[in-house]
């Protein structure tokens, strides 16, 4: 089955955070439920790649000593003919996963080859699904850690200081990345701290390249009062955007927008952006409407709507248009309806065109998991 079919989310981390070859470590497998409803899990099968290569965690011989720490009572490990296959089974009382569980694989003796070690995960929920997660292995010596801001929250326009630890540093390249920084990142290979001025909540990523393997650490700084949060903006003259939004993506409308009836969809914005759309009809007996409502984490609810009716001789005319600014974290509701009272109703002659989401940054509109699919 495809990786996209798993119902649960999976992440890998390790202790120590930088997985060095030839050393013992604990590999943590984090299982996350983001569906909004409990997911019944009957079994998890974790298979560590074994061998001498870069894709393997450990050797076949060393797999025999691996032990499992369970996140709660009720889970157990079943025996398997292969030592690197860990079959984890919950008791009846703990089969429902509601939020997050962390399984610790201890005494993992990392093999001697740098690379991307693979863990194959098979979940048994409503069906069996498979996915693969990878963790970087570094050669010994060079270590990178403790990537932290001096202050986790600042005011807009304030300079922030970021620090990190870097030991046994030789020829490794270090780059700092953030949304407003250089596209290729800031070269901080000879530094252990740097200063950056920010105007909005910002995520930072510090990456190191070593022998074709990339290791990255991340941190986040919030801005107490962002530089600009738009709720209602009316321009009666020329406007200049200091940062242009993305070309746009089309959030899914389910059912398709040419379906007769009244429909509603919900989304959550993971960044600031602009949501626009339009509505048009192409038949004298047709009527259509579109409304966008935005409920931001702070500030007043706002939105826009448009309606169209009757025949439009120009088949390329997009019709009435709406555009709504969307702050990060907002709950977005899209309502649309389509009617055709003609003797032979035709949904293909009256449409609500697809919405377009323009993100400032890399955020998306995430559909609500409770909406019909």
CB of 180 within 8 A of CB of 205? no
pLDDT tens, position by position, 23-81? 899 999 999 998 889 999 999 999 999 999 989 999 988 888 999 999 888 999 998 99
Residue with tokens 């190191």: 208
Query: What is the Cα–Cα distance from 326 to 293, expressed in whole angstroms?
Result: 10
Cα–Cα distance measured from residue 225 to residue 227, given in angstroms and rounded to the nearest whole number: 7
What pLDDT, on the 0 to 100 scale, is given for residue 2? 43
Q: What is the mean pLDDT of residues 234-261?
A: 70
Query: Residue 180's pLDDT is what?
Result: 80
Per-residue pLDDT band at 316 (split at 50, 70, 90): low
pLDDT at res. 170: 64
CATH class of 3-138: mainly beta
Domain spanning 261-367, CATH class: mainly beta
Kindly calculate the radius of gyration of the chain based on its CA atoms and give it in whole angstroms. 26
pLDDT for position 334: 93
- Kindly list the domain boundaries of the chain, sorted by start residue: 3-138, 143-223, 261-367
Same fold flag, 3-138 and 143-223: yes
DSSP 17-51: SSEETTSEEEEEEEEE--SSS-EE--EEEEEE-BS
Rounded to 5 degrees, φ, ψ at 165 are -105, 135
Query: Model confidence at 242, in pLDDT bands (50, 70, 90)?
Result: low
How confident is residue 195, by pLDDT bands cut at 50, 70 and 90? very high
- In this predicted structure, the answer to whether residue 247 has a pLDDT above a threshold of 80 is no
In this predicted structure, the answer to whether residue 243 has a pLDDT above a threshold of 70 is no
> What is the reported pLDDT for 57?
93
Helix, strand or coil, per DSSP, at residue 242: coil
Give the architecture-level CATH label for domain 143-223: Sandwich (2.60)
Considering the chain, what percentage of its residues have pLDDT values greater than 70?
Answer: 85
Residues 21 and 140 sit within 8 Å (Cβ to Cβ): yes
Tokens of 359: 């993100």
> 282: how many CB neighbours lie within 10 A of its CB?
20
pLDDT of residue 192: 87
Q: What would the DSSP string read from start to end of 66-124?
A: -EEE-SSTTEEEE--SSTTEEEEEE-GGG-EE-SEEEEEEEEEE--S--EEEEEEEEEE
366 CB contacts (<8 Å, ≥6 apart)?
267, 268, 269, 270
């Amino acid at each position: 089955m495809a990786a996209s079919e798993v119902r649960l989310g999976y992440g890998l981390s390790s202790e120590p955070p930088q997985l060095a070859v030839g050393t013992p470590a604990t590999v943590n497998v984090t299982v996350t439920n983001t569906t909004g409803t409990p997911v019944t899990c009957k079994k998890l099968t974790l298979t560590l790649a074994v061998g001498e290569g870069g894709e393997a965690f450990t050797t076949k011989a060393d797999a025999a000593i691996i032990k499992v720490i369970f996140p709660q009572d009720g889970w157990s490990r079943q025996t398997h003919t292969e030592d690197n296959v860990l079959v984890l089974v919950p008791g009846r009382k703990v089969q429902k996963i509601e939020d997050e569980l962390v399984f610790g694989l201890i005494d993992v003796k990392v093999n001697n080859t740098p690379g991307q070690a693979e863990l194959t995960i098979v979940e048994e929920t409503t069906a069996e699904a498979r996915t693969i997660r990878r963790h970087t292995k570094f050669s010994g010596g060079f270590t990178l850690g403790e990537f932290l801001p001096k202050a986790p929250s600042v005011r807009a326009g304030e300079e922030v200081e970021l620090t990190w630890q870097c030991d046994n540093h030789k020829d490794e390249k270090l780059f700092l990345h953030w949304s407003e920084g250089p596209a290729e990142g800031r070269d901080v290979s000879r530094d252990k701290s740097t200063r950056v001025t920010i105007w909005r909540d910002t995520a930072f990523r510090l990456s190191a390249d070593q022998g074709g393997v990339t290791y990255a650490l991340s941190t986040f700084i919030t801005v107490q009062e962002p530089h600009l949060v738009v709720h209602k903006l009316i321009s009666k003259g020329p406007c200049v955007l200091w940062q242009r939004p993305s070309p746009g993506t089309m959030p899914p409308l389910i059912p398709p927008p040419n379906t007769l009836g009244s429909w509603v969809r919900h989304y959550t914005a993971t960044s600031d952006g602009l949501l626009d759309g339009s509505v048009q009809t192409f038949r004298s007996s047709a009527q259509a409407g579109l409304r966008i409502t935005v409920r931001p984490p702070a500030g007043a609810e706002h939105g826009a709507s448009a309606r169209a009716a009757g025949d439009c001789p120009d088949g390329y005319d997009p019709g009435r248009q709406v555009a709504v600014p969307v702050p990060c974290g907002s709950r977005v509701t899209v309502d649309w309806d389509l009617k055709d009272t003609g003797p032979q109703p035709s949904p293909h002659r009256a449409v609500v065109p697809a919405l377009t989401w323009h993100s400032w940054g890399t955020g998306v509109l995430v559909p609500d998991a409770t909406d019909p699919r």
